[in-house]
Structure 1
Amino acid sequence: MSAPPPRPTVPAAELSRPVLDRPHFIGIGGAGMSGIAKILTQRGARVQGSDARESATVTALRGLGATVHIGHDAAHLASGATAVVISSAIRADNPELVAATERGVPVVHRSDALAALMEAARPLAVAGTHGKTTTTSMLAVSLGALGLDPSYAIGGDLDEPGSNAHHGRGEIFVAEADESDRSFHKYAPEVAIVLNVELDHHANYASLEEIYESFETFADRVRPGGTLVVSSDHEGARELTRRVRASGSVRVRTYGEAADADVRILDVTAHGLTSETTVLLDGRELTFAVFVPGRHYAHNAVAALVAGTEMGLPADELTKALGTYTGVRRRLQLKGEANSVQVIDSYAHHPTEMSADLEAIRGGAADGRVLVLFQPHLFSRTQELATEMGAALALADASVVLDIYPAREDPIPGVSSALIIDAARAAGADVRHAPAGQEGAELVAGMARPGDLVLTMGAGDVTELGPEILARLPR
């Protein structure tokens, strides 16, 4: 299966400054779109756009001076717009996109707009099937702590709505590079990270081989003299390393616990919801702490460390700066505590992420149980990975599974949360079903006892249920 034919858009190489002077964003409140809109606003562009509903991100953009309409209507496309920016989630029949086409307004894909913003900088792009947002955030925070004031565009908020992007005065631009629709092929980074390579995004990729080919194309985009930083521990990443080294197209530097890693992780020690990591880098042992739990996040921090040193930054200073990172919204973010029950939000929606977060959080559960309120994301992902999702949920003491969050997809006959529930029960899990969020929040709150940890897990609107659970716990 090949990627669907892209709609005609203006390539990054052909974008001039005036094209993005008065951009209109369709779906401006999305994680990727809002970051680009914020940077353009900070660079002086007159940004406007539309979104399906009000949100904290929309409010933050308005606070920066952007004009945001709620709902999609051709009337929202004001005369004078120099471009319409879209993502792959925008359907061809969107009335604003139709109006732009009829009026001859240039249509720019989100990835081309981001590529244009990075063109004059020293780009550092973070790719991988999972872990991108955390690693990009670690780099943005640590480079900021070093006084480098990087620009960045992240797929999640650091500490408050609208903090997913920044136009900095420094020369480095850190960006999350999305492989889901092959848009990361547009970037030309000085240093690129590939955290892992697994089969996902089944609507766009028919096989793991197509995924490999896509990541190889991304690797070939690294600027001459640049570096590709790749995990040595993930099977798919190792295969990518083998292919890239065989082609000789770019310098590769690996990191991980494997004996043949260029930068070796010697130890990861958990301390509750933090972790301490020791690495062997260029013959020196370095130990540093990261204030997020688990081996998975420690590996992300080492990837950030290696990439930073490849940009010419001192390792000793980078390890200290990484210690200032305290997490990102939706990545094991503590939402609150009531009746000695902590409620934590996890963005995990792929089985590998789910397992990693559940294993990480287990270390902070002390003698309590780990309970999960899980919302599957996308029908296509559920169709392909329901068995693996069910196995991941078996790592929890008990789970409640909601109906699938469709996002951009239409339903697929025969695909529902029941596939995950059946797989979880087959793996020995205690799992129940709740069709809607409110019912799920009430169910998991009724299960919780003092000392337990409750995770709201998924990439959809399950994140909004943390406060609902806390409100239902005894005070």
Structure 2
Amino acid sequence: MKDVKEIVDSMKNSPSGNGGRIYLIGIGGIGMSALARYFNAKNVTVSGYDKTETALTKQLAAEGIRVHYEDNIEFIDTDAQLIVYTPAVPKDHAELNYYLAHNYAVVKRSDVLGAITGSSFNICVAGTHGKTTTSAMVAHILQHSGYGCNAFLGGIAVNYNSNFWPSEKNVCVVEADEYDRSFLKLSPDVAIITAMDADHLDIYGTAENVEQAFIDFSTKLKDGGLLLSKFGLSRTAALKASHHLTYHLNDVKANVCAANIKMSNGSYRFDIIYKNPVAITWKLNEVELNMGGMHNIENMIAAIAVAHHLNIEDEKIKAAVSSFKGVKRRFEYIVKNEKQIFIDDYAHHPDELKALLTGAKKLFPDKKCTIIFQPHLFSRTKDFADGFAESLDSADEIILLPIYPARELPMEGVNSEMILNKMKSTNKKVLHKTEILDWIKNSKTELLITAGAGDIDTVVEPIKKILTNSN
């Protein structure tokens, strides 16, 4: 089998219209679809399989990428030079096993991303939460300011309605995924670590192993590169970098932080203070961020610090930040008027839920807060049931959906009632997804939040229609 980098390089550098052929198993995944779009932009013939048709796979098809939804070797591309799959693909997948049995070049998504970015200037954003929004913010500032970048994101940036965009500039902004240790195949020139909380314990086993993976990620930084980590991470001293700065929402002990934060109608104004290491060397006043959540100010602080490191002009940074419209399912306003606020978010970890609910309640303190939460994975629910209960208790009303299993089989005794029974709130219940719309019709919600990483997003538009009609 040819080296994956050799195959990818031949595709990247081939003459227009003759870029070879690639097949992706799990093409509708957020990371895989970004790869599909990258190769499609390079005139590679792209096709693939996914389990179900989604809005994203429909977009891929509209862009000229062939997608099918039946695990059937009659539909595969037998002329493909490279086969890419995700760890979520089951081992008995017929198409995957055909390619393996017939000695095709079969690799994981992380191998391909590592090969693509092997010779570029890379800004890699890692963290158990916050990485999608932060990477989208970095990429948007670079694009909007004219600096330019290729963006590989784990979410759909609203400004571009995409998780990927190309650039002639040999710069890549990459969301660095810790799942399956994928991010250890990247070579950052700038690395951001937003959080190192326990997660994916089905992969790592212990919180200490999760932290060690992030420490290992920091060793991938190129000589002379910049590491930017959130101030207060438990093992900051173990991170490896000759040039290491910290950031925080408002802790002045960090190298970069915000000051004079003002809230107005779901938006924020704030100043940025940059110290290296203790003396103030740079300030950026009156930055405007038009998305909710105090945690998103913190994410933007990291993005602004990177832009300043790259010598992007102050006014260009401010203009880019002001124009940033957010990421779909990251504190995304679905309905926003005087009577009704409806926010949808991808939060699926207790810390993410806590940040989501805290941010929403601070922005709209006079509104009753109702959250509909769909737990993601049996293993995560089992590991963090206490944390989920504590975070959700801060809402005024809590609706839990059954657990979304994703890649897992059920675990005995692990269900949404496990969280429900640990909560102190009395205004709580478990409803099935089929019951949610009728419940919405018969309820008076003021500040409504839907959250989770499963298929809860499929009820967002129906809920929006009900709320819009009732208003």
Structure 2 length as normaliser, TM-score?
0.91
Find 1:441's aligned residue among 437, 440, 444. 437
Offset, 1:100? 0.3
- More moved, 269-278 vs 456-465: 269-278
Indicate the residue corresponding to 2:16 in structure 1. Answer: none
Could you tell me which amino acid in structure 2 is paired with residue 119 of structure 1?
G
Could you tell me which amino acid in structure 1 is paired with residue 434 of structure 2?
Q
Within the alignment, does 1:226 sit opposite 2:222 as a pair? no
Q: Which deviations, in whole Å up to 9, do the C-alpha atoms of 1:209-261 show, x marking residues without a partner?
A: 1112101111010111101100114x33xx1x2112xx5x4421111133431
Could you tell me which amino acid in structure 2 is paired with residue 17 of structure 1?
D
Indicate the residue corresponding to 1:17 in structure 2. Answer: 9
Within the alignment, does 1:68 sit opposite 2:67 as a pair? yes
CA change 1:264–1:329 in 2 (3 A) is closer
Structure 1 CA distance for aligned equivalents of residues 383 and 299 of structure 2: 26
CA change 1:371–1:445 in 2 (3 A) is farther
Q: Which deviations, in whole Å up to 9, do the C-alpha atoms of 1:123-143 show, x marking residues without a partner?
A: 100000101111011112111
Structure 2 CA distance for aligned equivalents of residues 302 and 429 of structure 1: 38
Within the alignment, does 1:39 sit opposite 2:31 as a pair? no
Could you tell me which amino acid in structure 2 is paired with residue 466 of structure 1?
V
The SS at the match of 2:45 is: coil
Offset, 1:196? 1.1
Within the alignment, does 1:242 sit opposite 2:237 as a pair? yes
For 1:26-175, what aligned pairs fall within 5 Å after superposition? Answer: 26-159=25-158, 163-175=162-174
Structure 2 CA distance for aligned equivalents of residues 160 and 95 of structure 1: 38
Indicate the residue corresponding to 2:392 in structure 1. Answer: 393
Offset, 1:399? 1.2
Contact 1:387/1:419, CA 8 A, preserved across alignment: no
Indicate the residue corresponding to 2:449 in structure 1. Answer: 455
Within the alignment, does 1:384 sit opposite 2:383 as a pair? yes
Within the alignment, does 1:198 sit opposite 2:197 as a pair? yes
Offset, 1:290? 0.9
The SS at the match of 1:164 is: strand
Structure 2 CA distance for aligned equivalents of residues 161 and 271 of structure 1: 26
Structure 2 CA distance for aligned equivalents of residues 418 and 23 of structure 1: 44
Within the alignment, does 1:263 sit opposite 2:256 as a pair? yes
Contact 1:383/1:415, CA 8 A, preserved across alignment: yes
Contact 2:145/2:316, CA 8 A, preserved across alignment: yes
- More moved, 403-412 vs 259-268: 259-268
Structure 2 CA distance for aligned equivalents of residues 397 and 63 of structure 1: 42
The SS at the match of 1:93 is: coil
Offset, 1:52? 1.1
Structure 2 CA distance for aligned equivalents of residues 27 and 90 of structure 1: 7
The SS at the match of 1:116 is: helix
For 1:389-428, what aligned pairs fall within 5 Å after superposition? Answer: 389-424=388-423, 426=424, 428=425
Contact 1:375/1:402, CA 8 A, preserved across alignment: yes
Contact 1:129/1:198, CA 8 A, preserved across alignment: yes
Offset, 1:113? 1.0
Find 1:286's aligned residue among 284, 287, 306. 284
Offset, 1:271? 2.0
Offset, 1:317? 3.0
Contact 2:159/2:324, CA 8 A, preserved across alignment: no
Offset, 1:10? 7.8
Within the alignment, does 1:432 sit opposite 2:429 as a pair? yes
Structure 2 CA distance for aligned equivalents of residues 323 and 139 of structure 1: 13
The SS at the match of 1:182 is: helix
Structure 1 CA distance for aligned equivalents of residues 391 and 321 of structure 2: 29
The SS at the match of 1:276 is: strand
Q: Which deviations, in whole Å up to 9, do the C-alpha atoms of 1:344-385 show, x marking residues without a partner?
A: 211111111111111111133352211111100111110011
Structure 1 CA distance for aligned equivalents of residues 149 and 428 of structure 2: 44
The SS at the match of 2:53 is: coil
Contact 1:77/1:100, CA 8 A, preserved across alignment: no
- More moved, 286-295 vs 89-98: 286-295
Indicate the residue corresponding to 2:459 in structure 1. Answer: 465
Q: How many residues align?
A: 455
Root mean square deviation of aligned Cα: 2.1
Indicate the residue corresponding to 1:273 in structure 2. Answer: 266
Structure 1 CA distance for aligned equivalents of residues 272 and 161 of structure 2: 34
Q: Is there any run of 5+ residues in structure 1 with no aligned partner, and where?
A: 1-8
- More moved, 391-400 vs 329-338: 329-338
Could you tell me which amino acid in structure 1 is paired with residue 122 of structure 2?
P
Could you tell me which amino acid in structure 2 is paired with residue 108 of structure 1?
V
Structure 2 CA distance for aligned equivalents of residues 308 and 338 of structure 1: 33
Could you tell me which amino acid in structure 2 is paired with residue 431 of structure 1?
K
Q: Which deviations, in whole Å up to 9, do the C-alpha atoms of 1:13-35 show, x marking residues without a partner?
A: 55443478311101101101000
Structure 1 CA distance for aligned equivalents of residues 99 and 458 of structure 2: 34
Offset, 1:306? 1.2
CA change 1:429–1:110 in 2 (3 A) is farther
The SS at the match of 1:254 is: strand
Contact 1:278/1:285, CA 8 A, preserved across alignment: yes
Structure 2 CA distance for aligned equivalents of residues 222 and 429 of structure 1: 49
Offset, 1:93? 1.1
Offset, 1:392? 1.0
CA change 1:470–1:324 in 2 (3 A) is closer
The SS at the match of 1:363 is: helix
The SS at the match of 1:120 is: coil
Contact 1:394/1:429, CA 8 A, preserved across alignment: no
Contact 2:124/2:174, CA 8 A, preserved across alignment: yes
CA change 1:272–1:366 in 2 (3 A) is farther
Structure 1 CA distance for aligned equivalents of residues 252 and 338 of structure 2: 46
